[in-house]
Structure 1
Amino acid sequence: MKSLLFFMLGLAMVACSPRKAGNVNSESDELTMLVGTYTDGNSKGIYTFRFNQATGMATALSSIEVPNPSYLIPSEDGKFIYAVSEMNDTTAALNAFSFDKETGQLRLLNRQPTMGADPCYVSTNGKEVLTANYSGGSMSIFPLKKDGSLEPADTLFEGSTGGPDAGRQATPHVHCAVFSPDGKYIFATDFSADRILRFVMHPKSIIPHPSAEAIEVDSNSGPRHLTFSPNGKYAYLISELSGNITAFSYLDGKLEKIQTIAADTLRARGSADIHLSPDGKYLYASNRLKGDGIAIFEVNPETGMLAKAGYQLTGIHPRNFIITPNGKYLLAACRDSHVIQVFQRDPITGLLSDTHQDIKVDKPVCVQFVK
């Protein structure tokens, strides 16, 4: 009944149109949502939904078969989707799709090998697409064609080792690669060497910075995901092994450490994802393996430093989560509970409350919105 009612209400709403992050269509609160999964169970691949960021309710739209699309990202205009196929062999690939935001339908344009096993992260600036290849220990760079399809990878940067964990840092692992807010740099987490790699963007190529190629982080930390504040002045790193968040000030390619604070007090060595609320007032980080949940921090607007505000337990293995553009909901992809949990955010305290409007998907591991 709920799905039918939501569908009927949706027919009366004006369809959502392209808009920048943080803006909400005045005539509709509906977003198109994409979910990436692991396909070693019952999942087919990528699933699409209509999500209402006023009510927190979702309606299924479409799906497409893709092997292990564990991370995906839309283009800024929402016309294209780039999704990895996280495979531990030469079939590891990046897939490009055209996307219809109204119907939720995806159409494969092409795919290119990542030249590195287990690609687990993807980002784009509209001209290139980056993948972080975890087991391959590398970052691949794919030029984009005008039709949104992918050229073959033309650059491959390799990570290194040096961390003390003999079991998890013995071989190179690169876990994420992101563009800086100013568009001048790329930062990649060199998991096994306990450092962040910095690359300079040039008109025709991307090369390592000659004088400040790496930013060292604490030993035995296993840097995983990096995110920037909405105003571009700060960056926050979640480290998988230490369970710590490292806060940095950011200016013209330089990351200066200002704080380290624990997100995982149980030391489970399974911290995963990190995001800021759209207004930049709160930061959230997910933990797995013990006390699965999301740590909540208040952000000092003057200094960028963090103060612990609370902790929200979730389903099992919250590998990824996302916050709606209006800041009202946080959606946690709980891989081993086979649900995406929908939490409502308190804009004053930053705390979360479970709406019990779970979205059932087999092994969900990535959630993205197209606005």
Structure 2
Amino acid sequence: MGADHAQRAFIGSFTSAGGRGIIVAAVDRDTGEPTALAATDAVADPSFLAVGRANGTTVLYAVSETSPGAAAAFTLDDDGIPRPLGEVRPVGGSGPTHLAVTEGHLLTANYGSGSVTALPLAEDGAPGPASDVLIHEGSGPDESRQSAPHAHQVLADPSGAWLLSVDLGTDSVRVCALDAGTGSLRLHTETALRPGTGPRHLAFHPSGRHLYVLNELEPTVTVCRWDAVAGRVEPLGETPVLPEGNDGGAAVRTYPSEVVVSHDGRFLWTANRGHDSISVLTLDESGEKAVLVAAVGCGGRWPRDLTLDPSGQWLYAANEHSGNVSWFAVDAETGIPAHAGSFEAPAASCVIFA
């Protein structure tokens, strides 16, 4: 693999289930194949990762999905080995499952405690002590999963003006404002989705005018209009992510995990745990209508994460229970992914690209 044909990817995994922690891999641009370069288990259960920039260099961030939860940063040297940067910081909550970098802060979504935490970043990119913890309130009708709030994702909108947090326990999406000077978080709006759907993650359309909320407790995606000026989410309707009559049956319940939108806004993909598949949906030109067209095998079991590479040519599924990352060549005309290979990664939880 020539240097000009390689790009760098990072794979998170559960160390408590035999994972290697964070794996750094070189990915061949021509074939999509990852090759492991290095790994570190310096932080426990780094289930989700994010990349930022500081002083002109790349900084890797990881949650530690533990109780109490934490977040950590790593520098990336030429040898590919992630080296701890600063201290592992408590997030003031339990079970952080997602994180994002924006406005000089690291944000974590804390599933166990149902909260979002802001940690200011130093000039070198190291996270400092938490500046604020925004606690969610509410519950949902599923007593086993929704007895309390469960923040599952936090991310900035395309305009950079707002933070959105998706809460599985309260069936809602919250829009927050971050004060970059003080690191404080303020709830701006909260949008209720259909009770019992259990929203998990969302993704924006490239236009920035629509977003798609993937529901974990029911295999559907909720199409929403996004008003970046007002900071408001408007649900428009739901679309199934599995073919009718092909939901795996009661004995094999499906728990969708991740939603990805193509760079050109024509396709949407979801990863479906239990059904162990990747669904393909087409989007109309406006971004308001999603239609399910296919579901293909994920190349393993329990796909916890789904990621598109920067070129848009390759799609990666982190299959937690089978311990591998599968990659797929995306058909540019149909959006249907074709299995291209598999990479061993015990207890894999996510894949991101620098």
Q: Same fold (TM over 0.5)?
A: yes
Deviation at residue 269 of structure 1 after TM alignment? 4.6
Confirm or deny: 8 A CA contact 2:94 2:112 kept in the other structure.
yes
Q: 2:241 aligns with which of 216, 239, 263?
A: 263
TM alignment of 1:1-371, pairs within 5 A: 6=1, 10=2, 13=3, 28-65=4-41, 66-76=43-53, 79-87=58-66, 89-90=67-68, 92-100=69-77, 102-109=78-85, 110-205=87-182, 206-209=184-187, 213-252=189-228, 253-264=231-242, 266=247, 268-289=253-274, 291-314=275-298, 315-355=300-340, 357-370=341-354
Residue type of the alignment partner of 2:352: Q
d(CA) in 1 for partners of 2:57 and 2:262? 21
Confirm or deny: 8 A CA contact 1:73 1:83 kept in the other structure.
yes
d(CA) in 2 for partners of 1:78 and 1:169? 41
CA deviation profile, 1:217-273 (whole Å, cap 9, x unmatched): 001011100111122111110010012101112122122222210114527251110
Distance 1:78 1:254, change over 3 A: farther
List runs of 5+ in structure 2 lacking aligned partners.
Answer: none
Deviation at residue 312 of structure 1 after TM alignment? 1.1
Confirm or deny: 8 A CA contact 2:133 2:185 kept in the other structure.
no
Structure with more of its chain in strand, by fraction: 2
Distance 1:269 1:164, change over 3 A: farther
d(CA) in 2 for partners of 1:167 and 1:296? 30
Confirm or deny: 8 A CA contact 2:105 2:180 kept in the other structure.
no
Deviation at residue 328 of structure 1 after TM alignment? 1.1
d(CA) in 1 for partners of 2:347 and 2:180? 40
Confirm or deny: 8 A CA contact 1:321 1:332 kept in the other structure.
yes
d(CA) in 2 for partners of 1:303 and 1:117? 35
d(CA) in 2 for partners of 1:303 and 1:56? 28
Deviation at residue 303 of structure 1 after TM alignment? 4.1
Compare 78-87 and 196-205 and name the one that shifted more: 196-205
Q: How many residues align?
A: 339
Deviation at residue 53 of structure 1 after TM alignment? 2.3
CA deviation profile, 1:101-147 (whole Å, cap 9, x unmatched): x4322110121001111111011115111111111111111111101
d(CA) in 2 for partners of 1:213 and 1:323? 30
Identity of aligned residues (%): 27
Deviation at residue 326 of structure 1 after TM alignment? 1.1
d(CA) in 2 for partners of 1:29 and 1:158? 45
Deviation at residue 154 of structure 1 after TM alignment? 1.2
| TM-score, reference length from structure 2 | 0.92
Confirm or deny: 8 A CA contact 2:242 2:292 kept in the other structure.
no
d(CA) in 1 for partners of 2:273 and 2:242? 9
Deviation at residue 193 of structure 1 after TM alignment? 1.1
Deviation at residue 78 of structure 1 after TM alignment? 5.8
Deviation at residue 160 of structure 1 after TM alignment? 2.4
List runs of 5+ in structure 1 lacking aligned partners.
Answer: 1-5, 14-27
Confirm or deny: 8 A CA contact 1:272 1:320 kept in the other structure.
yes
d(CA) in 2 for partners of 1:99 and 1:136? 31
d(CA) in 1 for partners of 2:258 and 2:227? 23
Residue type of the alignment partner of 2:273: R
d(CA) in 1 for partners of 2:287 and 2:331? 23
d(CA) in 2 for partners of 1:31 and 1:126? 26
- 1:20 maps to what in 2? none
Three-state SS of the structure 2 residue aligned to 1:366 is: strand
Residue type of the alignment partner of 1:270: Y
Confirm or deny: 8 A CA contact 1:339 1:363 kept in the other structure.
yes
